[in-house]
Structure 1
Amino acid sequence: MSQRVYVSGVGMIPFAKPGTSASYDQMGATASRLALADAGIAYDDIEQAYVGYVYGDSTAGQKALYQVGMSGIPIVNVNNNCSTGSTALFLARQAIASGAAECVLVLGFEQMSPGALGSIFQDRPSPFDAFDEVTEKLVGMSQIPLALRYFGGAGLSHMQKYGTPLESFAKIRAKASRHAANNPLALFKQVVTPEDVMSSTMIWPGVMTKLMACPPTCGAAAAVLVSEAFAKKHGLNTQVYIAGQSMTTDKPSTFDSEDMMKVVGYDMSKEAATKVYAQTGIGPDDLDVIELHDCFAHNELITYEALGLCPEGGAAKFIDDGDNTYGGKVVTNPSGGLLSKGHPLGATGLAQCFELTQQLRGNAGDRQVAGARIALQHNLGLGGACVVTMYRQS
């Protein structure tokens, strides 16, 4: 795979609470049109499309894209839990890098329902059976919704292992709110303090408050990926390219280590990041900006360490030193992240791509990271899959 892959167009709509958004197909069509317009091409120029969503019927991707055009191209529907959007991006990049296509549309959307995530099909084995079994053994708390048990348990593991205070997670959520205040596409723009986060409803005493969890969200985002030859032929934007990318899934350590941080993908994240650093020759100290998977403040904290941004056990100090925000070592989630921007599952990976593309173009407005040239994207889905993508400014 030797062809360089450029992100020539991105599009995203404002995220919204369940029940207040347009339908998934309308959101998807709008985001696609925005990405095509940003790239300066027509739908007829697209050779393949990869469409990600979690909660939807089969071929929902066709339903959305048929509103944009019906050119007969391959449309591949993708579902990989919360890493769905970046999995679609992974497939699209492979198609171009391998020479199978020169211009590919990647779309992610989600029309969600209020409340905590849960299984849809109750008449068959759950993909989370093994995760639930080890989680029950390690933390119990079966009265709490599954996602909160997983990530709250991971945070608790970090607290017990390294003495991390609950306030560290509150500081992450407060940082997310400050960043989101400058993002017109974010769902929650109200700035909150660590004290506000600590005083919000306690979901798991001593482990998690309500504001430390991301909300169910509706939305859509899209990207147009092209080869260098296609970009030159059509005079397209080549400011941003994908320098490296890796996708990982679970290994035995997820369940055998008896560590909730590994149950929620710590090893997947570490391995994917390590592979991308090796591919690109770029290390964590070289990064300017990161969009990482902060479905819970707890996951952002442990991901700092998985990505090598700080030593294992060093996340609390990393936060206290302000190294995760403007003026520090690397700006994490300038968009506000999943905690404040929102988390429409299938769209999240493409929303991260949108933000980092704007950052490397210098088009991020009041949330612009000064001099941003190298960016990293981390998108995680339990069950499981993790995709890490390195972007560079040309």
Structure 2
Amino acid sequence: MVANKVYVIGVGMSKFIKPRGEVDYPEFALEAAVKALNDAGVTYDAVEYAAVGYVYGDSTAGQRVLYQLGMTQIPIINVNNNCSTGSTALYQARNAVASGQVECAMALGFERMARGSLTSTFADRTNPLDHVNIVMASEVGFDPKSPPAAQIFGNAGIAYMEKYGATSRHLAQIAEKNHRHSALNPYSQFRDIYTLEQVEQSPKVFGPLTKLQCCPTSDGAGCSILASEAFISKHNLWDVAVEIVSQVMATDSPRMLSTDAIEWAGCDMTRRAAIEAYKKAGITPNDVQVIELHDCFSANELLTYDGLGLTKQGEAHTLIDSGNNTYGGKYVINPSGGLISKGHPLGATGLAQCTELVWQLRNWTGDRQVANATYALQHNVGLGGAVVITIYKKANGNATQPRVGYNPAIEARGITQEEYEKAASNIKHRASFLEAKL
């Protein structure tokens, strides 16, 4: 079956912040949804299907958020796929449009997190990562004092260094770059610039990984509105449309349970998805200019250079040495600051990546703009595991001026009552609990 072309016509996100509990998920998720709808210039009545991603929360939280915009009785699918949850929601929404099931769909992701390192929520049942933890413990031991995710990615980084000659300084250079990039992103949780020495000398977390090389827990939300060609033509939205030219999801291969620590981080599913994504898009890595990839730890960014085919196997550190992972080089990787500095609210991360890349392809991002951006690549991975790789292409006639009255790519604002009214369903059947909020 030939899939219909799918375009992103609206994006929006909230600021990513430290988990404080002062703002609850219905509020910041509504903010992202309203911004995305206003960016597209459509109301919630146009949305025929919604996929909503979050990891920490009770069932049907997606309905709780979207009922604030209207109880229109559309399908709302709640998604949990670990750290790739946001992109999994995007994948579901894209499939709904590509299949012809609907003409307009929403992908929304949010997270309200507890402070501190990620932990298992349910201690009374099997941990979904028990298989890789058992392999890791038998091969290199397990440190009960260090976060499990930091051990998986840290050990993968150590193995890469031992096998291919990368160094701990290369890992620190990745973190220094991403913190530097985030200084230009008003949505980032952290916007401080650190020297390489400050990154290296920050508190140790595990192995070569220091605190400034690890993503923080965060609260926040992101949203994307997807549409078909027919919908875009009908509503005259070509000026904001960015095409999703390919999208691939993959899960782990048996390599994840091998004795090779590099594979514990799910590298093989990234390789598989990348090869397929480039093939479907009809391009090679050389055609891409800007990339948002899953740098939950600096070690994972290093590993992903290989996995995405940006370098030959074992040569990821040469991309850093050459400066080809930042402005002035071949690729600009994580112009948003990445997970390390922008933050990582699990369900929102994939939609925030999409938002940044759409803004880049529209040429809206000001001082962090990647020159001549035509193709953009997104990589979002979750242990357990799943990875989604999405390739975007600049469309003709992109808007030179945002329709919301300010440039959301360079200015992070909250939403107003007027903006909410523009986005909400015109049919007066919104949940009454909203009226006390706005």
**TM-score grouping bracket, smaller chain normalisation:** over 0.9
Q: Distance in 1 between matches of 2:338 and 2:209?
A: 18
Quote how far apart the aligned CAs of 1:354 are.
0.1
Partner of 2:154: 152
Give me the CA root mean square deviation.
Answer: 1.0
Q: Distance in 2 between matches of 1:152 and 1:376?
A: 25
Q: 1:87 to 1:160 in 2, by over 3 A?
A: same
1:186 aligns with 2:160: no
Partner of 2:163: 161
1:108·1:347 contact (CA, 8 Å) conserved in 2? yes
Partner of 2:260: 259
Quote how far apart the aligned CAs of 1:194 are.
1.2
Partner of 1:309: 310
Quote how far apart the aligned CAs of 1:137 are.
1.8
TM-score (norm 2): 0.88
Tell me which moved more, 235-244 or 281-290: 235-244
User: Structure 2: which 5+ residue stretches go unaligned?
Assistant: 396-438
Alignment of 1:81-230 (within 5 A): 81-143=82-144, 144-205=146-207, 207-230=208-231
Partner of 2:298: 297
Q: Distance in 2 between matches of 1:70 and 1:317?
A: 53
Q: Distance in 1 between matches of 2:263 and 2:290?
A: 25
TM-score (norm 1): 0.98
Quote how far apart the aligned CAs of 1:239 are.
3.4
Report the 3-state secondary structure (helix = DSSP H, G, I; strand = E; otherwise coil) of the residue aligned with 2:232: helix
Could you give the per-residue CA deviations for residues 69-114 of structure 1, whole angstroms, max 9, x where no partner exists? 1111110000000000000101111110110010001100000011
Report the 3-state secondary structure (helix = DSSP H, G, I; strand = E; otherwise coil) of the residue aligned with 1:117: coil
Quote how far apart the aligned CAs of 1:7 are.
0.3
Report the 3-state secondary structure (helix = DSSP H, G, I; strand = E; otherwise coil) of the residue aligned with 1:203: strand
Give the percent of matched residue pairs that are identical in Structure 1 and Structure 2: 53
Quote how far apart the aligned CAs of 1:20 are.
5.6
Equivalent AA in structure 1 for residue 104 of structure 2: C
1:7 aligns with 2:12: no
Q: Distance in 2 between matches of 1:72 and 1:203?
A: 47
Partner of 1:285: 286
Equivalent AA in structure 2 for residue 183 of structure 1: N
Quote how far apart the aligned CAs of 1:274 are.
0.3
Q: Distance in 2 between matches of 1:203 and 1:61?
A: 34
Q: Distance in 1 between matches of 2:199 and 2:276?
A: 35
1:33 aligns with 2:29: no
1:74 aligns with 2:93: no
1:359 aligns with 2:360: yes
Could you give the per-residue CA deviations for residues 252-276 of structure 1, whole angstroms, max 9, x where no partner exists? 1110x31122111100001000000
1:245 aligns with 2:242: no
1:46 aligns with 2:39: no
Quote how far apart the aligned CAs of 1:287 are.
0.5
Equivalent AA in structure 2 for residue 118 of structure 1: T
1:171·1:193 contact (CA, 8 Å) conserved in 2? no
Quote how far apart the aligned CAs of 1:199 are.
0.7
Q: Distance in 2 between matches of 1:289 and 1:204?
A: 30
Q: Distance in 1 between matches of 2:44 and 2:134?
A: 46
Tell me which moved more, 329-338 or 17-26: 17-26
Q: Distance in 2 between matches of 1:315 and 1:192?
A: 23
Number of equivalenced pairs:
392
